[in-house]
Amino acid sequence: MKPAIPTAAHKIRIIGGKHRGRRIMIPDRGGLRPSPDRVRETLFNWLQWEIAGAHVLDAFAGSGALGLEALSRGAASVLFADNDADGVARLRALLAEWHEAHARVQSGDVFLLSPSAARYDLIFLDPPFAAGLHAQAVAHFVNDRWLKEQGKVYLEMPFPHEDLHVPPGWLWHRQGRAGRVFFGLLRRDYADEAAA
């Protein structure tokens, strides 16, 4: 029996930058839910003046859509992290095909990653919706061990959702919703620091 040929529904496209229009094949895998085009377009509009030269961590990378979009738009480096062996292999092959030498893929539990000594400008957090890891991911990654002074964290989670505890000294910089997806950027609360 021949393998099924992926349909257009199993592909997403890069929206902007040097790889604009390129398509990423998405395997049929439970829990794999790439960020929709509309959400990615909004996110990268928010980040348009910050992405060039940024050092990025794409935790729970899945298809790699967010990190690949960041590379396409000029990120200096991207570390993709995911625990799915097939997804990791696909990302490594894609990065080699696209000649993206400043990107690498780490296989395994993202909560066991070691922080980069240089820290990140931007961290993407889009864990599988059914896994319920959003609060744990925010508690783990939203801090000075992972982020530079001006660093931001992007979070994507199901809507409706219970209120997420934002760590002290942080706030929602931007928020949006597309259907059943809530997404937003967290940044430090500089007013809070000034008051202290």
**DSSP β-bridge partners for residue 103:** 78
For residues 59-64, average pLDDT: 91
Rounded Cα gap, residues 100 and 136, in angstroms: 31
Any idea which residue has 């997804």 for tokens? 87
Rounded Cα gap, residues 139 and 133, in angstroms: 10
66-122 confidence digits (pLDDT tens): 999 999 999 999 999 999 898 899 999 999 999 999 999 999 999 999 988 889 999
Let me know: does 35 contact 61? Beta carbons within 8 Å: no
Q: Does residue 152 carry a pLDDT above 50?
A: yes
24-56 confidence digits (pLDDT tens): 887 666 656 667 778 889 999 999 999 999 999
Band (5; pLDDT cuts 50, 70, 90): very low
Rounded Cα gap, residues 40 and 138, in angstroms: 20
154-181 confidence digits (pLDDT tens): 999 888 666 788 899 999 999 999 888 8
Task: Please tell me whether the overall predicted TM-score, pTM, comes out greater than 0.85 for this model.
Answer: yes
Q: Does residue 9 carry a pLDDT above 50?
A: no
Q: Which spans in 14-64 are helix H?
A: 37-46
pLDDT at 129: 76
Q: Does residue 10 carry a pLDDT above 90?
A: no
pLDDT at 18: 94
Higher pLDDT, 65 or 31: 65
Higher pLDDT, 116 or 60: 60
